Structure formats: structure tokens, C-alpha cells
């Protein structure tokens, strides 16, 4: 099996074909989880004016301590009041415009007000409780770099900095096509030899979470003409993800029919367990992934190979899965030829993450996978990983 690609080699080939899609303008309302194609620059200084950080009184610091006449009351959202002269104070709300002439705000809690005067017992410094104009960011400065994913915090930053629209790579359109004559939709009655279709749902949910616009096609039977029709339609998308039919059996038609439809195969089979017979090809700009039919193989193949492509198409600079480190619970033999990903339960202990591989690691055992929240990476080789060994793992949520 020395001829099989490693996971890293396969990922490199995929990413060579997965440059960012063209950018489009997106309103902030639609931009959550999208990826910036260009840096987003502040439209305004933030705050746009010197603003009060407290409910209190705007004053000249030099007038404190002292007793000051209250000249005006400034609410948030109102234009600046008149210039504050020496000997004056102005009531001001949090977020109110600090008037010209004032250089500090005395918090309401630390003064006594009576007869329209305020008595300030201790001195304040210039700048106390005043948020200077542009103190957060100045107009023209970068709020978020190209390649940033628009998290809730970043969306808030863009909105506050006056940005209404951003440029993002178009979301990839993905077609999911499960193959197999034996597949029935959940809810239908199974005839002899039939099983329920699971991969379409797995892959659609994974694609959606990765940022793609997904079309889940009805499962197609193991028939060349049906494959041709369904695949030709699927190939209109940016990314095609099939499941099943990429092995060596007489009913495994996906690769052959794709070749007839002009898909150029870049690789077939990777030294990974589960998921070895994965295929990847391209037709023009469309990326075509053939995942094996066993549901666990499809799930793992997606995480290792499809998700990075979906992220790269959106312009994420480091699209490969990011592993965390934890400790293996129990001893585990390594596979001599293939890197292995073990469905595992993730537990937090006083000294970090502990990973307990589930019993039943065969690639058809999708129901057992429901208990998994991580994939533990076991590099191929001789011998075993000992109980407590440091391992890399991927979270599955």
C-alpha cells in the first residue's frame, strides 16, 4: 500500500484546486460566519465624539474639588451642548457628548447635588471617564483583516465602525448525491435488503456548518444511466459530494461515470482508516469528492478532505482541520499501513482532555458514532500508543 497518498498529500492536492471563489457584496445582516475577501476599514472614528463613560457631571478637572453650577443636562443621542465655562458643570448620561471646554466626568455616585449645584469633594484628573473620539478605532483603520471569519464579535465591531456592507467570497454551492440502490429515506418502509439513507444528512449538515449552500439530491440507484443524469446535474455546483460507489465492486459506478462526464480524477484512495477509497477530481472549477458509502467513512472523509476545501473556497487562509492535544485513555495498537481516526468520547480532567475510544470502530457503525465527540488521530506504524499517550484529536461538534 506504499502507493497510497498520505492524508497530507491528498489535502495538498485538494487545496491546489480550491482557490477562493469570486467576492460579492454582503450586508452585515447576511454576513455571519462569512469570510472577508478584503480588509474591512472603519468608516468613522469610534467613538465618533468624546463621550462620557459614566452617568455623572461634565466638568473642568481644574475646577475640582469644588462647588459647580449645573448649566445643562446632556442625554445620550443629543447634539453637543454649549461650551462649558470654568465654574460650570453639566449633567451627562453615559454615551452623552462631552461638551467643549469640559475635560472630565465626575460619576454621579461620588457627588451631592442640590439647588442646581453639584458639590465635588475630591479632585478628578483630566480625561477621567471621557472616552476620546477615535479611542477605539479611527476612520480608515482596519477593523478585520481579509480571511477573517465574521464571528459575532467581529460583526459587532464592523457595525460599530459604520460598515454596512463587506466583500466576501461567494458561498460555495454544494450538491450532495448519495448512491446505492439499497437506500430508503427515513420514514419510508424498508423492503428486504434495504437500509436507511444516512450520509446525505450527515454531509448536508457538515456542508452547511462549513458555510456551503447545500442541495441534497435524492439517493440514486446503482444504474449507469441514473448516475449519469444525477451527476451531470450535480456538476453544475461548485462542489459535488457523492457517497458510496467508489470502491472496487461491480456496482461501484461513480468514478467511471464521472470520467465519462469529463471529471479529471486527481486521486483515488488515501492511506486513512476509515475512508480509504475516497476519490477526488475536478471538472473545470468544480471540485468532485467521492466519499465511501459507510457512514463513518463519509463523516471522517468530510472532516479531513471536504471541509478544508469548503473553507478554502471561502478564502480561509488556514483551511486544514486544527487538532487539539489530549491524552489517550487505554492502550491502542497502531495500524501498520494507515493513519487511523478513532471515534472517541472527550472528557475533561484536572490535567486536560482525556480521550476514550468507543468500542466498535468499524466504518458501518454509525449508531455507535453518535456517542463520539472527537476523532483521535493514531499515526500509522509499528507497536502501540500507550495508555496516557499524548494524541492529536479533532472535535466533532
Positions touching ligand AMP (CB under 6 A) are 178, 180, 182-183, 195, 197-200, 243-245, 247, 249, 292-295, 364
Q: Which residues pair with 333 in a beta bridge?
A: 384
DSSP 8-state secondary structure symbol assigned to residue 305: I
Q: Which three cell numbers stand for residue 390?
A: 499524548
Q: Are 368 and 343 in contact (CB under 8 A)?
A: yes
Burial class (CB in 10 A: 0-12, 13-18, 19+), 249: exposed
The residue to which cell 458555510 is assigned: 211
Q: What share of the chain is helix, strand, coil (3-state, %, to 5)?
A: 20, 35, 45
Among ligand AMP, Mg ion, none, residue 195 binds (CB under 5-8 Å by kind)? ligand AMP
Measured from the CB atom, the residue of 24 and 182 that comes closer to Mg ion is 182
Is residue 268 exposed (0-12), middle (13-18) or buried (19+ Cβ within 10 Å)? Answer: middle
- C-beta of 9: minimal distance to ligand AMP in Å? 22
- Partner that binds at residue 31, options ligand AMP, Mg ion, none, CB closer than 5 to 8 Å by kind: none
Least distance CB 170 / ligand AMP (angstroms): 28
* Cβ proximity to ligand AMP, 244 vs 357, nearer residue: 244
Residue 95 Cβ vs ligand AMP, minimum distance, rounded to whole Å: 55
Question: Nine-digit cell at 39?
Answer: 480588509
For residue 146, the minimal CB distance to ligand AMP (Å) is 37
DSSP tag of 251: T
Given ligand AMP, Mg ion, none, residue 198, with its beta carbon under 5 to 8 Å by kind, binds ligand AMP
Q: How far is the CB of 180 from ligand AMP (least distance, A)?
A: 4
Among 91, 99, 180, 301, binds Mg ion (CB under 5 A): 180
Q: How far is the CB of 372 from ligand AMP (least distance, A)?
A: 17
Closest CA to 246 of 164, 318, 305: 305
The binder of 80, among ligand AMP, Mg ion, none, by C-beta within 5 to 8 A per type, is: none
Q: Round to whole Å and give the CA distance between 101 and 50.
A: 12
Which residue's CB is nearer to Mg ion, number 248 or number 350?
248
- Asked if 244 touches Mg ion (CB under 5 A), the answer is yes
Binding site for Mg ion (CB under 5 A): 180, 244-245, 293
Amino acid at each position: 500500500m506504499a502507493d497510497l497518498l498520505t492524508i497530507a498529500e491528498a489535502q495538498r492536492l485538494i487545496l491546489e484546486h480550491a482557490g477562493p471563489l469570486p467576492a460579492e457584496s454582503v450586508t452585515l445582516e447576511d454576513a455571519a460566519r462569512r469570510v472577508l475577501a478584503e480588509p474591512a476599514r472603519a468608516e468613522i472614528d469610534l467613538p465618533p465624539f468624546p463621550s462620557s463613560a459614566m452617568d455623572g457631571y461634565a466638568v473642568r478637572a481644574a475646577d475640582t474639588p469644588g462647588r459647580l453650577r449645573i448649566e445643562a443636562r446632556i442625554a445620550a443621542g443629543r447634539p453637543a451642548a454649549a461650551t462649558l465655562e470654568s465654574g460650570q458643570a453639566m449633567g451627562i448620561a453615559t454615551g452623552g457628548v462631552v461638551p467643549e471646554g469640559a475635560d472630565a466626568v465626575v460619576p454621579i455616585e461620588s457627588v451631592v447635588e442640590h439647588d442646581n449645584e453639584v458639590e465635588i469633594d475630591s479632585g478628578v484628573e483630566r480625561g477621567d471617564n471621557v472616552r476620546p473620539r477615535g479611542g477605539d478605532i479611527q476612520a480608515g483603520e482596519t477593523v478585520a483583516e481579509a480571511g477573517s471569519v465574521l464571528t459575532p464579535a467581529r460583526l459587532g465591531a464592523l457595525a460599530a465602525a459604520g460598515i454596512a456592507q463587506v466583500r466576501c467570497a461567494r458561498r460555495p454551492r454544494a450538491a450532495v448525491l448519495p448512491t446505492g440502490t439499497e437506500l430508503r429515506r427515513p420514514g419510508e418502509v424498508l423492503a428486504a435488503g434495504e437500509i436507511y439513507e444516512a450520509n446525505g444528512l450527515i454531509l448536508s449538515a457538515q456542508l452547511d456548518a462549513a458555510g456551503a449552500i447545500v442541495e441534497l439530491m435524492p439517493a440514486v440507484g446503482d444504474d449507469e444511466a441514473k448516475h449519469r443524469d444525477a451527476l451531470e446535474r450535480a456538476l453544475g455546483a461548485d462542489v459535488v459530494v457523492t457517497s458510496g460507489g467508489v470502491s472496487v465492486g461491480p456496482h461501484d459506478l461513480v468514478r467511471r461515470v464521472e470520467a465519462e462526464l469529463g471529471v479529471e480524477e486527481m486521486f483515488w484512495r488515501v492511506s486513512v482508516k476509515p475512508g480509504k477509497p475516497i476519490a477526488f477530481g475536478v471538472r473545470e472549477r468544480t471540485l468532485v469528492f467521492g466519499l465511501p458509502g459507510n457512514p463513518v467513512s463519509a463523516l471522517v472523509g468530510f472532516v479531513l478532505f471536504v471541509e478544508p476545501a469548503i473553507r478554502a473556497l471561502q478564502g480561509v487562509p488556514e483551511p486544514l482541520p486544527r487538532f487539539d492535544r489530549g491524552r489517550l485513555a487505554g492502550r491502542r495498537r497502531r495500524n501498520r499501513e494507515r493513519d487511523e481516526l478513532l471515534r472517541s468520547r472527550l472528557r475533561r480532567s484536572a490535567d486536560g482532555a482525556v480521550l476514550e475510544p468507543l468500542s466498535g470502530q468499524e466504518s458501518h457503525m454509525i449508531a455507535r458514532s453518535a456517542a463520539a465527540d472527537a476523532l483521535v488521530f493514531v499515526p500509522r506504524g509499528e507497536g502501540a500508543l500507550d495508555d496516557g499517550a499524548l494524541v492529536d484529536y479533532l472535535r466533532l461538534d
